[in-house]
Structure 1
């Protein structure tokens, strides 16, 4: 039995002793009666700028009868904790599985599907088109320094997926018991323990790189096989059923079950799937730019007089503007806000500019950035096939590359010039150093955005300035173009998680249109893996190494 205490409110500079005193007051008992306690959640209440506080939720056990204490207190803030649901034991199914499951993609969905399968003895094979995180990190740094892009090892592709080079946010809108499982796996792999209770947890790219490495080691220890530089170039489909996958146009690996967790930027893989008859659907998108402000401005807007309090860290925000009356006044919103972060070059195709945001765990860059995007409907694509959205995004990414002057420099514009409809000729008066590398080119972002997007973003900036003081400062900076807020397609699946028209193909995660972020993608990967475990028997213990002919697979070339 345990007691759950809600609404413990403390000043931001409180000590552990203050927390103990607050627990005593709620319980009306001396703390020596507490056997042990755990922080379940800590959130920040900054609604009153003159009184910013932390709010705790605590679960504890006592040396005395907890139920009697709760009945005596008789207050909604002190209740008996609901018993945790027992973890259901997954029993292997009865369908035969001749070969180990193949997972395409080593992002959150693919990795967590692989972890669940490996834990239950299925020894999955993970095929990742990009490189391991160590080599990938070097390739990305080289790109940011020189503008020389590796199209298979970049911010989008490689071990850990796109989220590895982001802020590492662990917030999610889904409600699923597996979320707790994901968080504990992250902590076991080296994530800060506070992610287990912080209201808006994040890991940071510096921690994520270490965590991804540790997850790989764990997978290998459990018998999984991970192959990098391994682009799946073909699915062998016979009579509507998966029978093999082709790697790097060279080797075919026998397959009965394939989890496709490719992430939202694998456009060439989408094209391959479409050409082979896999059912794919287009879906709405969003386009915009990254907007940068001094982090202190955001802190002051959110925390008031507590803006410099070290306990609060860098402030974030979430802003939404509803669509207006006209068809061209689209809904606009902030996305992937990175407090104390940087804007990064996130291209994955030659001759196209893409931006994203990234933060280290400390969030100490002194610059805040966020995507500012407007919605794009499928009617805007002017194409009937499901890849019309991909072509639409490429069109504007190419414009951004040309406007930036080549070399993956990004077009940028001061907010005052953007609102006035004139090109920026310089970046004077910007109160911070722009963070995008390999560099930016002052210009007119209207030339790389659809007209209705520009108009919607102009209105959003003004409206957001009313909600968040200083957001519409004319010395903020816009850097384009932001196009990777979500997958441009959905690979529809049935209730058993299989593709609607290809037996043995299991779409998963953000790239298949079933997640939106690190946690939801990881959860979806676990869900797919659980179904596979409950459907199929474990493959035979030993699989002949020569069957897969790994030695014949060379790195894919650009």
Structure 2
């Protein structure tokens, strides 16, 4: 039995033969390893037309002292921090079944806490039918849609599984491993930008629910939490919309970024929260073939590379940051509304990423003191204002306002669309998107489109189509928590995930769910809080 060491930055041609990797490993080590497996495979496409694959591999060697420059392979196995104590008065409650709530519930269940999981929406398959009801018939169910229901908003997305959060304890590996066990392809364990797509996510969420239930967890759908009883600064119970009261000492709040009524209730209850930055903008669609050629050159269409993505940032002359958000290669733009009369867009891809268009949010940073002063809930009012403007500009029928890039840059309304056909359903209305966005965003996006065209030739294609509005990039507030994971002024309340302002995207939300479950277990069992992880970058400005 040898010792596993990690070997990084092995670079091979895109079409290398199967034996080339083993040969490259042997050349680096000076001898063949006892065994090896791929820890990570990515690509370097900076030289268009000369794309190379990059590998990180774990190699087994008999004598590690012969390779002093190599570090041991890290131990990424997961270990619970504590087991549930006997005689616990109340089982912990997890509110929300998005990625954060899902993994908080899983960790609590694996630790013996038998959590009760509440969601205002429906189980994932029923929720999917309601979501298609808006996309196909223009009928919105405010409690079951892209934002609310089992799986959270990430269920109807590209299913991206990478993040920029610091993860020294390898919680992300726990997330990927659980997803593979639930039915995700094994390649997500080693490809550099793993994704799984909407259809696979539906099956995986169901599989993980079954696992949690087998461990003693209990799910209750259609259970909106309308109140949380707080006495002397501590949680006492949650109250459902039916009037049912459920006693509780520990509540994980994983409600997502669109539970606006819940935010208002918590604010009225005195739970400390602060306004935070988020972003606003539009969805832009190009032919996927245009993006593939710009990114991969003559390697465009290679099966290993798949559909190309992009990540763009521009600092506009008016002081605003403009960036691409939630880029969906080979995907569609979807209706993501959760409130009547307020129109929201988002992007989605299937695992195959084989739709005609690429789409991404092109969004502009919004700052509380500068753009929406007035307290923690002011950002919600700001979002609602522009969502209502988009609904009106689209004609008030859930059609979305849309505009050709050429017309947007020329500052004239669109009266027709061109060769790039918008994928948004239930349909679009050609108009002037300047009606649906704050002036500073319009000015900044116009400047950014021209700048992005230099990085991706054709990005400012005249017939590229923009659809509005994108407002739910992240939560507009943060529910403040301490080092022990609890609300700073409400004991037993554990704000978590994207809605609480601590994540942005599936992976970071899932990791935060694990951390929050661990924090709860530490509080219950009297263990000290985990060491501070350092300041995390703001989810509203970097993820997607």
1:154 matched residue in structure 2: 145
Matched-pair contact (CA < 8 Å) for 2:12–2:53 = yes
2:227 matched residue in structure 1: 234
> In 2 relative to 1, CA 424–109 (structure 1 residues): closer, same or farther, beyond 3 Å?
same
1:286 pairs, out of 274, 279, 283, with 279
Matched-pair contact (CA < 8 Å) for 1:95–1:536 = no
1:123 pairs, out of 114, 122, 146, with 114
**Aligned partner of residue 156 in structure 1, secondary structure:** coil
**Aligned partner of residue 2 in structure 1, secondary structure:** strand
Query: How far off is 1:381 after superposition?
Result: 4.3
1:43 matched residue in structure 2: 42
**Aligned partner of residue 151 in structure 1, secondary structure:** coil
> In 2 relative to 1, CA 446–240 (structure 1 residues): closer, same or farther, beyond 3 Å?
same
1:481 pairs, out of 466, 469, 488, with 469
For the residues of structure 2 that align with 1:336 and 1:156, how far apart are their CA atoms? 15
1:347 pairs, out of 310, 317, 337, with 337
Across the aligned residues of Structure 1 and Structure 2, the Cα RMSD in angstroms comes to 1.7
1:499 equivalent in alignment to 2:490: no
1:549 matched residue in structure 2: none
- 1:72-119, Cα deviation, whole Å (9 max, x unpaired): xxxx5xx24255277555234879741000011001111101100000
Which range moved further: 293-302 or 375-384? 375-384
2:160 pairs, out of 169, 180, 184, with 169
2:496 matched residue in structure 1: 508
2:97 pairs, out of 106, 113, 136, with 106
- 1:298-347, Cα deviation, whole Å (9 max, x unpaired): 011101111122221000000001142x4xx4110000000000000000
Matched-pair contact (CA < 8 Å) for 2:82–2:525 = no
> In 2 relative to 1, CA 96–460 (structure 1 residues): closer, same or farther, beyond 3 Å?
farther
1:455 pairs, out of 440, 443, 447, with 443
2:15 matched residue in structure 1: 13
1:311-326 correspondence to structure 2 within 5 Å: 311-324=304-317, 326=318
Query: How far off is 1:9 after superposition?
Result: 1.6
2:289 matched residue in structure 1: 296
1:243 matched residue in structure 2: 236
1:46-57 correspondence to structure 2 within 5 Å: 46-57=45-56
TM, length-normalised to structure 1: 0.91
1:142 matched residue in structure 2: 133
Structure 1 gaps of 5+ residues are: 539-558
Matched-pair contact (CA < 8 Å) for 1:279–1:491 = yes
**Aligned partner of residue 286 in structure 2, secondary structure:** strand
2:540 matched residue in structure 1: none
For the residues of structure 1 that align with 2:147 and 2:174, how far apart are their CA atoms? 25
Matched-pair contact (CA < 8 Å) for 1:94–1:535 = no
- 1:29-60, Cα deviation, whole Å (9 max, x unpaired): 34xxx433211111110111131110111102
1:323-338 correspondence to structure 2 within 5 Å: 323-324=316-317, 326=318, 329-338=319-328
Structure 2 gaps of 5+ residues are: 527-544
**Aligned partner of residue 494 in structure 1, secondary structure:** coil
**Aligned partner of residue 361 in structure 2, secondary structure:** strand
Which range moved further: 485-494 or 88-97? 88-97
For the residues of structure 1 that align with 2:253 and 2:26, how far apart are their CA atoms? 52
> In 2 relative to 1, CA 490–524 (structure 1 residues): closer, same or farther, beyond 3 Å?
same
**Aligned partner of residue 293 in structure 2, secondary structure:** helix
**Aligned partner of residue 299 in structure 1, secondary structure:** helix
1:39-118 correspondence to structure 2 within 5 Å: 39-62=38-61, 64-68=62-66, 70=67, 79-84=70-75, 90-92=81-83, 97-118=88-109
For the residues of structure 1 that align with 2:201 and 2:19, how far apart are their CA atoms? 32
For the residues of structure 1 that align with 2:447 and 2:316, how far apart are their CA atoms? 10
Matched-pair contact (CA < 8 Å) for 2:159–2:197 = yes
Query: How far off is 1:67 after superposition?
Result: 3.0
**Aligned partner of residue 277 in structure 1, secondary structure:** coil
- 1:360-400, Cα deviation, whole Å (9 max, x unpaired): 01100021000001111113444422111100100000000
2:30 matched residue in structure 1: 28
TM, length-normalised to structure 2: 0.93
1:438 pairs, out of 426, 430, 447, with 426
**Aligned partner of residue 34 in structure 2, secondary structure:** strand
Query: How far off is 1:7 after superposition?
Result: 2.1
**Aligned partner of residue 437 in structure 1, secondary structure:** coil
1:415 pairs, out of 405, 410, 416, with 405
For the residues of structure 1 that align with 2:365 and 2:65, how far apart are their CA atoms? 52
Which range moved further: 180-189 or 344-353? 180-189
Moved over 4 A (4+): 85-89, 92-96
1:4 equivalent in alignment to 2:6: yes
> In 2 relative to 1, CA 53–161 (structure 1 residues): closer, same or farther, beyond 3 Å?
same
For the residues of structure 2 that align with 1:112 and 1:210, how far apart are their CA atoms? 16
Matched-pair contact (CA < 8 Å) for 1:191–1:207 = yes
Matched-pair contact (CA < 8 Å) for 2:283–2:359 = yes
For the residues of structure 2 that align with 1:421 and 1:83, how far apart are their CA atoms? 54
**Aligned partner of residue 519 in structure 2, secondary structure:** helix
For the residues of structure 1 that align with 2:230 and 2:276, how far apart are their CA atoms? 26
Which range moved further: 294-303 or 244-253? 244-253
For the residues of structure 2 that align with 1:281 and 1:95, how far apart are their CA atoms? 37
Matched-pair contact (CA < 8 Å) for 2:283–2:470 = yes
Matched-pair contact (CA < 8 Å) for 2:301–2:307 = no
